[in-house]
Amino acid sequence: MKVFDYKILRKLLNQVDPYRYTFIVTVLISILFSCLSISRPLLIQYAFDNYILSYSSSGLLNIMIVIFILLFLEAFFQFLFVYKSNYLAQKIIKNIRDQVFSKILSFKIAYFDTTPTGQLITRVISDLEAISSVFSQGLVVIFGDFFKMFLILLAMFIVNWQLALVSLLFLPFLIFSTFLFQKYMKQAFIEVRKQIARINIFVYEHIIGMSIIQIFGREKKELESFKMINAEHRNAHIKTVLYFSVFLPIVDVCSAIAMGILVWYGAVNAVEGHVTIGEIIAFILFINMLFRPLRGIADRFNILQMGIVASTRVFKILENNTNIDLDLSKYNTDLCDLDGDIIFENVNFSYNQGEPVLRGVNLKIDKNKTLAIIGPTGSGKTTIINLLMKWYDLLDGDILINNQSVSNIPNSQLRKSIGIVLQDNFFLADTLINNIKFFNKISDDVVFAAVREIGLESFINKFPNRYNYYIGERGSGLSEGEKQLVMFLRTYLLNPSILILDEATSSMDPVTENLIQRAIQKITTKRTSIIIAHRLSTIKYAHKIVLLENGNIIESGSHDDLMRLNGKYANYYYQQFIYH
């Protein structure tokens, strides 16, 4: 296993490009900071050899003033370095996070079918924080530490090459230990990131499904499951702590032995006049300064290692090609409004290979007419909508609107022309009116007029504060039927040329259903409409009804036609309205 994935490292460095000026300034500050640090041992050596041993107080005072000035400058440059490196990190991470979330928004629905939500949350939040540390505490700091070590080694050989060789006896062993340490740390950090993702997925899913957990009395069982996952996360972290616990004492022991050998060798040679006291003092300081960055580099490498692991996961998202095609040059963008006939031509589709959902479906939906689709669960009703909306790619056959294949229509134009009310609802933790507008720039008066037009004043008036009623997170202040009415209003306000209602009355009480049925009859007038329903009362007045079974259309016609046929549709009708 490689210590680093240099391809990922290069990709990270490419993210610096928009901020190259800040990056260069930060590196220069790091170089100046290193130079100032190296000057102190040299000045202290000079003070010992020229002033302290000769008892020259005036010269010692002057050099001490210089050392204090350099210390203040060093502190100032350290402040600048910390500020600039963190500033750079936050700029880069904001840019990457924007890219990642933009990419997630562009993914096709099929991507989310196989990717846990908690995993994506981990990528957008905690993984990017790990990458942030690469720039604030990793790359530039490691460069500064290496540059400082180079200057220290250069200064040591310039001052006394014999003492330098003696001081560096254990350096090869330390370098080998560092690389070995990083190899095992990479494996440990991969496991840490994996366990963090597992915790995020588990917590997200269980908070969202808390009511189900409590209904089935699963609190203790799920707590035990969480404890197991949390324990594995702890064990992964403890492994990194173990490696640290082994490596850091090795650095300290090598530093102490090197210093002891240096003092012994220096003292012997000082007696013979080959080494000065100032040189011995300078080398003691040099050894401390040399081994301290080695310890620091181990820390920085760990940060870099964790960032590389996190970056690998993030770049997998950025390089994923399952996104929606946003290249408009390949589409026919000179289209009139999509308000013509909708035709399905021999459409075959399956979500999983070898498990067909639609089998050669041929279907025409006339302009400004209402088509109803019924059938048992799993017959392919919602799949027809998924393909029309281009949430999934067609495998075989074609879908035409205004004699234009949907594959030649830009997604933005297609979805702007189609209004859809789904079974699944999404709500903001906000007021009722803001949930009705749902990010669209619509005036309050337009909303009020729409409510009056489709006869939903009684629905609005029953809430405290009416339109300003706060519905809570995920629409907790609304019933399922009320949520669908809000979704219905959202869609109506967009004034789409094509309307789709997917089980729009599946969760409604009789009063609410009556409201929505009157509204459906109003807004489907002079609009191409598709209604998917189990309740046949919703679709009784549709111009055309098709019955799906196992991905095939087995009956088609108006309500009266199908009743006269006395087939499966008639059987469904009798079951709902006569036997019940």
**Is the pLDDT assigned to residue 328 strictly greater than 70?**
no
Provide mean pLDDT across the span 512-531: 74
Question: Mean pLDDT for the chain?
Answer: 78
Domains of the chain: 6-318 (1.20.1560.10), 342-577 (3.40.50.300)
Output the pLDDT for position 331: 46
Short-list 348, 364, 345, CA closest to 356: 348
Residue 302 to residue 240: CA distance in whole angstroms? 9
As a whole-number percent, the residues of the chain with pLDDT over 70 amount to 87
Is the model's pLDDT at 414 over the cut of 50? yes
Of the pLDDT bands very low, low, confident and very high (cuts 50, 70, 90), residue 362 is confident
The pLDDT value given to residue 298? 65
Q: For the residues 272-289, what does the mean pLDDT come to? A: 77
Q: Rounded CA gap, 370 and 181, in Å?
A: 69
- Reported in sequence order, the residue ranges of 402-488 that DSSP labels E, i.e. its strands, are 404-405, 418-421
Query: What angle, rounded to 10 degrees, do the helices at 126-133 and 57-106 form?
Result: 150
* pLDDT reported for residue 333: 47
Query: In the predicted model, what is the mean pLDDT of residues 114-133?
Result: 78
pLDDT score recorded for residue 372: 86
Is the pLDDT reported for residue 524 higher than 50?
yes
Residue 330 clears pLDDT 50, i.e. is over it: no
β-strand partners of 371: 530, 544
Classify residue 445 as exposed, middle or buried by CB count within 10 Å of its CB (0-12, 13-18, 19+): exposed
115 Rama class: left (phi>0) / alpha (psi -120 to 50) / beta: beta
- Alpha carbons 365 and 50: distance in angstroms, whole number: 100
pLDDT, one tens digit per residue, over 416-437 is: 888 887 776 777 777 878 777 7
Residue keyed to tokens 């074609």:
398
Average pLDDT over residues 488-514: 73
User: Do 476 and 469 form a contact (C-beta atoms < 8 A)?
Assistant: no
Residue 324 exposed, middle or buried by CB count within 10 Å (0-12, 13-18, 19+): middle
pLDDT band at 327 (very low <50, low <70, confident <90, very high): very low
Name the most confidently modeled range: 40-54, 145-159, 311-325.
145-159
- Cα-based torsion angle of the residue sequence 113, 118, 123, 127 in order, rounded to the nearest 10 degrees: -160
pLDDT of residue 138: 72
Q: Which residues are registered as beta bridge partners of 548?
A: 553
Task: Sheet with 342-352: list strands edge to edge.
Answer: 355-365, 342-352, 396-401, 404-405
Render pLDDT for 206-240 as a digit per residue (tens, 0 to 9): 777 776 777 767 778 888 888 888 888 888 888 87
What's the angle, vertex CA 307, arms to CA 302 and CA 311, rounded to 5? 150
Q: Which residues contact 557 (CB under 8 A, 6 or more apart)?
A: 544, 545, 565
SS3 call for 400? strand
* CA distance between the termini of the chain: 68
Contact 502, 421 (CB under 8 A): yes
Contact 344, 37 (CB under 8 A): no
pLDDT band for position 1 (cuts 50, 70, 90): very low
pLDDT of residue 217: 74
Query: CA 178, CA 568: separation in Å to the nearest integer?
Result: 75
- Cβ burial of 268 (10 Å; 0-12, 13-18, 19+) is exposed
Kindly state the tokens that stand for 93. 């991470």
Give the mean pLDDT of 344-373.
Answer: 84
Task: Name the β-bridge partners of 419.
Answer: 499
Give kind and range of the element (H or E) at residue 365: strand 355-365
Crossing angle between the packed helical segments 171-208 and 126-133, to the nearest 10 degrees: 160
Question: For the residues of 19-68, what is the DSSP string, one character each?
Answer: GHHHHHHHHHHHHHHHHHHHHHHHHHHHHIIIIITTT-HHHHHHHHHHHH
Nearest to 193 by CA among 302, 297, 102: 302
Among 207-211, 344-348, 353-357, the range of highest mean pLDDT: 344-348
Residue 505 has pLDDT above 60, yes or no: no
| Higher pLDDT among residues 231 and 112, named by residue | 231
| 231/355: higher pLDDT | 231
Quick one: average pLDDT of 252-279? 75
Query: With DSSP H G I counted as helix, E B as strand and the rest as coil, what are the percentages for the chain, rounded to 5?
Result: 65, 10, 20
3-class SS letters over 252-274: HHHHHHHHHHHHHHHHHHHHCCC
The confidence band for 12, taking pLDDT boundaries of 50, 70 and 90, is confident
As a whole number of angstroms, the distance between CA 287 and CA 289 comes to 5
